[in-house]
């Protein structure tokens, strides 16, 4: 029991940190432009595919460095020539634009790389068990993922709160006009933040590609969950996004690892049930079965009872 | 006068729908028309939500799908004689279920418009789509459920064996649904929906609950989405999880947006265009979704009011009788644009093909050598150059056509 719990926790942490790498960029972009970037997970997918192509020729480590840069530049271009143009038509148009972009990127990936799953491998250097617990091995690559994510967040936090450029960004988020009057190029800052946000998604893609498989549907799989996290954490709150990412990561991991379900509950309550009842699906429901819908259930509940999310600011 | 003119439009719409199979009577054409009929009702109901009520939904397929599932269940019940009514009422069953679902979900989702509503709709959509794979006995899992429309009391001797019979039934329902959705735009509730979309605060100040107005619009949209789902069930006699998941929700958003939100005719145009693309283009190219995506993004970027909005832009020029002055500039930009599109598509297809000999528009290309790539690329670039060169004169012509001259102003004053 304990070993299941420990491994579920570790896997939940890996997923949670990966999700946070996506959610942090999404949250930054949201607080900047006031729009949820539907295509964020698509940049994550692009990261994985670019890294795959680069790794074929130059190895994994080159991909880890250059794929996020390419993705970031693409993101900045999208902001400059797409979003900025749509911005004048209002939030709905922006949301619809990013939605269309997500649709297009998925099709474009299939055009350039094909619809099949790519054999994107983690580096041989990290192909050993980090430690062995209760006879089960924990791969070093997962440990590496945890390490990289935490390093990135600490440096991101440091840059945002301590450095001069971070302070200008923070000021530009809340008072763009004042910052502009002080002589800073606010549109350039926005473009930069968008680029860095998408590059972070790219990093997540590079690292997740070998573990979660690289295929054209990988953006859809993670995309809506990242949304859920940003909303549950409270729109625009980095700390909230962190808590929500870990929460969702652990929740899903525990739900999949557990093997309890409705039959156990009914037995516990001493209720008899027959197998061929019209509601038989309901009686035989298990927790691993409903694991994929738990985040969405949480999302709907949070939006109904606390629309500002866990750490969101109170609405004006 | 205006009433007569409007009724004339409606009569033409009905006659056009009825006459379509006279011109195209192949099996393929009829099945495309049936798809169109379903898509029109669905897209119009989406427009009700987004265009009229300002609620961006990423889960509108839920009401379509639930209506469809219950409609198929109703077909099965008719087959086993648990229920006994003619299948012509099946779309109403779907609509009723769509309405019930909307009545329930609307109680908590219409609290706010904008991002919150969009997120709730996304969450509900994912929730229902995921649940449909879990509750196998009701949704049939990945295979879906199927029924048979030929049972039940016959309707004037029609047995519903052929798709053509279903087409005429669908026409009746599409016409009724379109008419009622149009009437809804004229009711006070419909007008208030517009007001709440544009400025909920002001609507509250004059004594309307923005939430209740949204709720009413939401329920009406759910009802008509359900009607479309019922039509789907009648046409295909089966329904799967795919019909209520995010992909279907996305497609209806695409068709309504490309057609033009806010204009009543917009979603109809969008539904027709998308169905045609879906069924005709997909025969020629497996990249049609890529083209759809590009077309959608271009629409969002350059025609924020869709095709219908583009047509409506010319209303004033038309009224002033200056439309003639635009013909030449349009041709000067339009012809290179057309060549640009054709050549770009050729380039994309050529780089995607596996065959060495590639036939495109009656021309044979060789995909193994670089020379054909270079030739088409030159055509693309040349067309792009012409577009850039001719665009300023189009803009100037557009501005001068829209200018209200001094004479017109004097006339207006006197």
Of the candidates A100, A111, A307, the beta carbon closest to that of B290 is on A111
Distance CA B198, CA A173 (A): 26
Which residue in the block uniquely carries the two structure tokens 């006009």? A177
For the cut 60, the answer to whether the pLDDT of residue A13 exceeds it is yes
Distance CA A32, CA B85 (A): 57
Task: Tell me the nearest-neighbour CA distance from B137 into chain A, angstroms.
Answer: 7
Chain B residue set in contact with A, beta carbons under 8 Å: 50, 54, 56, 58, 108, 111-112, 114-116, 118-120, 122-124, 126-127, 130-131, 134-138, 246, 250, 253-254, 257, 287, 289-290, 292-294, 296-297, 300-301, 304, 348, 352
Q: Do A231 and B119 touch (CB under 8 A)?
A: yes
Q: Is the separation of the CB atoms in A143 and A205 below 8 Å?
A: no
Q: Do A296 and B112 touch (CB under 8 A)?
A: no
pLDDT at residue B1, rounded to an integer:
66
Task: Tell me the nearest-neighbour CA distance from B327 into chain A, angstroms.
Answer: 28
- ipTM of the complex in this document: 0.84
Which is it for the CA torsion A32, A33, A39, A43, positive or negative?
negative
Chain A residues near residue B304 by CB distance under 8 angstroms = 86, 89, 93
Q: A245-254, A299-308, B385-394: which has the minimum mean pLDDT?
A: A299-308
Of the candidates B131, B136, B287, the beta carbon closest to that of A293 is on B131
Q: Which residues lie below 8 Å from residue A52, measured CB to CB, with a gap of 6+?
A: A63, A113, A118, A120, A209, A214
For the cut 80, the answer to whether the pLDDT of residue B404 exceeds it is no
Q: Is the separation of the CB atoms in A212 and A41 below 8 Å?
A: no
Task: Tell me the nearest-neighbour CA distance from B214 into chain A, angstroms.
Answer: 16
Chain A residue set in contact with B, beta carbons under 8 Å: 35-36, 82, 85-86, 89, 91-93, 95-97, 99-101, 103-104, 106-108, 110-111, 220, 224, 227-228, 231, 235, 278, 280-282, 285, 289-290, 292-293, 296-297, 299-300, 303-304, 307
Distance CA B358, CA B373 (A): 12
Strand partners, A136: A133
pLDDT at residue A275, rounded to an integer:
60
Q: Which of A39, A94, A96, A219 to mutate to test the interface with B (most CBs of B within 10 A)?
A: A96
Of the candidates B56, B290, B293, the beta carbon closest to that of A92 is on B56
Chain B residues near residue A303 by CB distance under 8 angstroms = 108, 116, 119-120, 123
The helix-helix angle for A40-58 and A91-113 (nearest 10°) equals 30
CB contact burial A48-86 (16+ within 10 A = b; e otherwise): bbbbbbbbeeeebeebbebbbebbbebbbebbbebbbbb
Q: Do B58 and A293 touch (CB under 8 A)?
A: no
Residues A196-254: tens digit of each pLDDT: 889 999 999 998 888 888 888 888 888 888 888 888 888 777 888 888 999 888 888 88
Residues A266-292: tens digit of each pLDDT: 777 776 666 666 566 666 777 777 777
pLDDT confidence bin for B108, thresholds 50/70/90: confident
Residue A36 in tokens = 């949820």
Q: B226-230, B340-344, B354-358: which has the minimum mean pLDDT?
A: B354-358
For the cut 50, the answer to whether the pLDDT of residue B239 exceeds it is yes
Look at the pTM and tell me if it is higher than 0.90.
no
Of the candidates B112, B123, B293, the beta carbon closest to that of A300 is on B123
Q: Which SS3 state, helix, strand or coil, does residue B369 take?
A: coil
Most confident of A24-38, A261-275, B147-161: A24-38
Distance CA A292, CA A269 (A): 26
The helix-helix angle for A40-58 and A60-78 (nearest 10°) equals 140
Q: Which SS3 state, helix, strand or coil, does residue B260 take?
A: coil
pLDDT at residue A277, rounded to an integer:
61
Look at A89 and B121; give whichever has higher pLDDT.
B121
A139: number of Cβ within 10 Å: 16
Chain A residues near residue B294 by CB distance under 8 angstroms = 104
Q: Is the separation of the CB atoms in B280 and B324 below 8 Å?
A: no
Residue range A165-170: mean pLDDT, rounded: 85
Q: Which of B299, B304, B352 to mutate to test the interface with A (most CBs of A within 10 A)?
A: B304
Please compute, for residue A92, the number of CA atoms within 13 A of its CA located in the half-sphere on the CB side.
Answer: 20
For the cut 70, the answer to whether the pLDDT of residue B407 exceeds it is no
Q: Do A108 and B287 touch (CB under 8 A)?
A: no
Strand partners, A236: none
Distance CA A295, CA A13 (A): 16
pLDDT confidence bin for A311, thresholds 50/70/90: confident
Residues B6-16: tens digit of each pLDDT: 888 888 888 88
The helix-helix angle for A40-58 and A186-212 (nearest 10°) equals 60
Strand partners, B363: B360
């Amino acid at each position: 029991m304990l070993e299941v719990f420990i491994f579920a926790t570790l896997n939940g942490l890996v997923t949670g940190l990966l999700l946070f790498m996506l959610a942090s960029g999404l949250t930054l972009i949201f607080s900047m432009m006031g729009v949820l970037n539907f295509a964020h997970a698509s940049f994550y997918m692009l990261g994985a595919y670019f890294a795959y192509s680069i790794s074929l020729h130059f190895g994994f480590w080159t991909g880890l460095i250059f794929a996020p840069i390419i993705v970031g530049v693409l993101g900045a271009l999208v902001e400059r020539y797409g979003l900025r143009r749509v911005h004048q038509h209002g939030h709905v148009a922006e949301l619809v634009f990013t939605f269309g972009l997500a649709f297009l990127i998925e099709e474009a990936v299939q055009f350039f790389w094909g619809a099949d799953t790519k054999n994107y491998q983690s580096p041989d250097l990290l192909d050993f068990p980090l430690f062995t617990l209760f006879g089960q091995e924990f791969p070093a690559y997962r440990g590496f993922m945890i390490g990289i994510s935490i390093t990135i967040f600490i440096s991101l936090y440091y840059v945002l709160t301590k450095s001069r450029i971070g302070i200008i960004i923070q000021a530009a988020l809340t008072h763009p006009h004042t910052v502009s009057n002080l002589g800073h190029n606010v549109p350039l800052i926005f473009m930069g933040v968008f680029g860095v946000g998408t590059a972070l998604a790219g990093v997540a893609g590079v690292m997740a590609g070998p573990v979660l498989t690289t295929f054209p549907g990988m953006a859809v799989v993670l995309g809506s969950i990242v949304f859920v996290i940003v909303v549950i954490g409270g729109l625009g709150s980095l700390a909230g996004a962190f808590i929500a990412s870990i929460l969702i990561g652990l929740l899903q991991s525990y739900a999949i690892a557990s093997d309890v379900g409705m039959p156990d509950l009914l037995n516990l309550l001493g209720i008899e049930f027959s197998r061929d009842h019209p509601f038989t699906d309901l009686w035989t429901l298990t927790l691993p079965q409903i694991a994929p819908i738990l985040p969405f259930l949480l999302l709907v509940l949070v939006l109904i009872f606390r629309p500002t999310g866990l750490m969101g600011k109170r609405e004006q | 006068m205006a009433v007569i003119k409007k009724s004339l439009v409606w009569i033409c719409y009905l006659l056009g729908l009825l006459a379509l199979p006279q011109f195209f009577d192949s099996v393929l054409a009829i099945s495309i028309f049936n798809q169109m009929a379903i898509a029109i009702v669905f897209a119009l109901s989406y427009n009700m939500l987004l265009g009229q009520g300002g609620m961006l939904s990423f889960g509108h397929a839920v009401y379509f799908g639930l209506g469809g599932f219950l409609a198929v269940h109703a077909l099965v019940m008719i087959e086993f004689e648990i229920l006994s009514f003619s299948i012509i009422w099946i779309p109403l069953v779907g609509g009723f279920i769509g309405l019930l679902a909307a009545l329930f979900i609307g109680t908590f989702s219409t609290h706010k418009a904008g991002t919150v509503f969009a997120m709730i709709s996304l969450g509900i959509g994912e929730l229902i789509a995921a649940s449909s794979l879990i509750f196998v006995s009701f949704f049939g899992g990945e295979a879906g459920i199927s029924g048979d429309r030929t049972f039940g009391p016959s309707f004037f001797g029609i047995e519903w064996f052929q798709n053509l019979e279903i087409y005429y039934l669908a026409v009746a329902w599409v016409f009724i649904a379109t008419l009622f959705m149009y009437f809804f735009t004229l009711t006070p509730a419909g007008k208030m929906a517009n007001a709440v979309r544009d400025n909920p605060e002001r609507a509250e100040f004059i004594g309307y609950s923005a939430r209740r107005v949204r709720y009413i619009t939401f329920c009406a949209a759910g009802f008509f989405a359900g009607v479309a789902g019922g039509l789907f069930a009648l046409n295909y006699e089966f329904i799967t999880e795919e019909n209520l998941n995010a992909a279907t929700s996305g497609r209806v958003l695409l068709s309504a947006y490309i057609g033009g939100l806010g204009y009543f005719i917009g979603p109809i145009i969008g539904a027709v265009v998308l169905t045609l693309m879906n069924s005709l283009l997909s025969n020629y190219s497996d990249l049609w979704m890529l083209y759809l995506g590009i077309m959608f993004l271009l629409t969002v970027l350059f025609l924020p009011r869709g095709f219908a909005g583009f047509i409506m832009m010319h209303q004033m020029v038309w009224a002033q009788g200056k439309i003639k002055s635009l013909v030449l500039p349009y041709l000067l930009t339009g012809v290179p644009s057309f060549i640009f599109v054709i050549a770009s598509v050729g380039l994309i297809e050529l780089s995607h093909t596996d065959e060495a000999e590639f036939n495109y528009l009656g021309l044979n290309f060789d995909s193994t050598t670089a020379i054909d790539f270079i030739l088409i690329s030159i055509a693309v670039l040349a067309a792009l150059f012409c577009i850039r060169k001719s665009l300023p004169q189009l803009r100037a012509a557009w501005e001068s056509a829209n200018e209200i001259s001094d004479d017109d102003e004097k006339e207006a004053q006197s």
